[in-house]
């Protein structure tokens, strides 16, 4: 499995969503969680946006890395994030009753990215 395309797709998605959250958190939070965020949620949304941009930048910069240990580290971190995102979206949508129209597509997207990440990590190990 080619690692560079996985990291490029991850970079584009996470930087894009991160910028949306950083600049206008109400939109993505409404679509994902079905909430109209107050000041606290807007702050947390912006914080999440900054973290997603960091994940995207690390993924994008790691596309050309040849050091297998460094590549495994980035892949493991991105894989952890994708799995955690799936679990948290499922929790939000089922137990916490926080579900906007984009929550299930987002959970599915991260599940697909997680499987792709496992395949890439397996090939690099």
Structural domain boundaries in the chain: 3-124
d(CA 120, CA 5): 10
Q: How many CB atoms lie within 10 A of CB 76?
A: 14
C-beta of residue 49 within 8 angstroms of C-beta of residue 25: yes
d(CA 34, CA 74): 31
pTM for the full model? 0.93
Written as six digits, the tokens of 89 are 């979206």
C-beta of residue 79 within 8 angstroms of C-beta of residue 114: yes
For residue 102, the model assigns a pLDDT of 97
Each residue's pLDDT tens digit, 24-54: 999 999 999 999 999 999 999 999 999 999 9
């Amino acid at each position: 499995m080619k690692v560079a395309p996985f990291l490029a797709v991850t970079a584009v998605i996470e930087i894009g969503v991160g910028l949306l959250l950083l600049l206008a958190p109400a939109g993505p939070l409404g679509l994902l969680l079905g909430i109209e965020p107050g000041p606290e949620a807007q702050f947390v949304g912006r914080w999440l946006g900054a973290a997603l941009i960091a994940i995207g930048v690390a993924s994008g910069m790691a596309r050309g890395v040849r050091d297998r240990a460094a590549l495994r580290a980035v892949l493991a971190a991105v894989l952890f994030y994708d799995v955690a995102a799936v679990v948290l979206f499922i929790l939000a949508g089922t137990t916490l009753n926080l579900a906007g129209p984009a929550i299930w597509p987002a959970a599915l997207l991260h599940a697909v990215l997680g499987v792709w990440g496992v395949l890439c990590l397996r090939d690099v190990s």
